[in-house]
Homo-oligomer: A and B are copies of this chain.
Amino acid sequence: MATSRFAVIAGAGAGTGAALARRFAQKYPVFLLARSSASYDTTVEEIKSTGGQAYGVPADISSAQGVKMAFEEIEQKVGKDASCAVALFNASARPAWKPFLDLTEEDFDASYAISGKGAFHFSQATIPLLLRAAKQDQSEHPPTLIFTGATAALRGSANLAAFAPAKFAGRALAQSLAREFGPQGVHVAHVIVDGIIDLPGSKELLKDAGPNAKLDPNAIADSYWYLHSQPPSAFTQELDLRPHSEKW
C-alpha cells in the first residue's frame, strides 16, 4: 500500500458506519472494523468499485485481544511505519430499554463492553498511531479521534440505566483524551447524535414528520469530516447533531 496514512473505523456496519467509511475513503485507505464481515462487506465493495481503498477487519472491539489482532492485521497492510490520520469510534451496543429491575448484569456489561472498554482499547491502539502522524508533515489535517455519542451521553433516562452509564463513560473518555492529547496535536472530539437515523430499518419511524425529520448518515459523515479538517488553532471538542425538527 503506497500511502502512509490511513483511517480506521470501529463500528463500520450499515448506516452511520458505512457513511463514515465512504466519506473518509475519499482521501484515505479505510479499515472497517466490525464483529462480523457481513456488516462491512457491501461497503468495502462499494468503496473499491468507486476507486477507493477499503479493507474489512473482523474484530471483537470489546476485548483487548480482539483489538490487538485487528491492529496487527492493519499493520500487515500498512506497514510498521504507517500512521493513522483518522480513528472513528462509532461502535455501540444496542440500548437495552428495560425497567431497571429487569436489567441483567449481562445487559449492563454489554453496553459497557463497547462504549467503555471498547472505546478504551480502540483509543490505546490508535493514539500511538495518531501521535506518529502528529509528528509528521504539518500540512496534513491534524490526526483525529472521534467518538460517536448519543443523547444518553448527556442525560440518564428511566429504562435506560444500562445504556446511559456506558455512553456517559465514553464521553468522559473523549474529554480526558482531548485534554491530554490536544496539546500533542491530536484532535479528539465527541459527537452527540440526537435523533433517529434515516436507515432502511427506521423507515416506519416519524413517517409523518415531514422531510429531514431523521438524520441522514451522509450528513453525519460530513460533520465528522469537517471536524477532521479543523486546524489545530480551532479544534471543536464536542458538537451535537439533530434533525431540525427534533424536540430536545
Contacts and interface: CB of A to CB of B under 8 A. Distances in A.
A235 B156 CA distance: 17
Nearest to A226: B226
Interface in A147-199: 152, 155-162, 164-183, 185, 187, 198
Contacts of A159: 176, 180
A24 interface: no
A5 interface: no
A239 interface: yes
A220 interface: yes
Contacts of A37: none
A56 interface: no
Contact of A183 (B165, B177, B245): B245
Given A182-B245, A244-B142, A176 B198 contact: no
Count copies of this chain in the complex. 4
A231 interface: yes
Interface in A211-227: 211-216, 219-220, 222-223, 226
A6 interface: no
Interface in A94-138: 99-101, 103, 105, 108-109, 112, 116-117, 120-121, 123-124, 127-128
Contact of A172 (B121, B167, B179, B235): B167
Contacts of A244: 142, 182-183, 185, 187, 232-233, 235
A74 interface: no
Contacts of A167: 172
B169 A157 contact: no
B176 A158 contact: yes
A165 B169 contact: yes
A52 interface: no
What are the 10 tightest A-B residue pairs by CB atom distance, in nearest-first order?
A156-B175, A156-B176, A165-B169, A219-B234, A158-B180, A168-B172, A161-B176, A168-B168, A239-B239, A212-B232
5 contacts: A64-B105, A116-B116, A159-B180, A161-B173, A168-B172
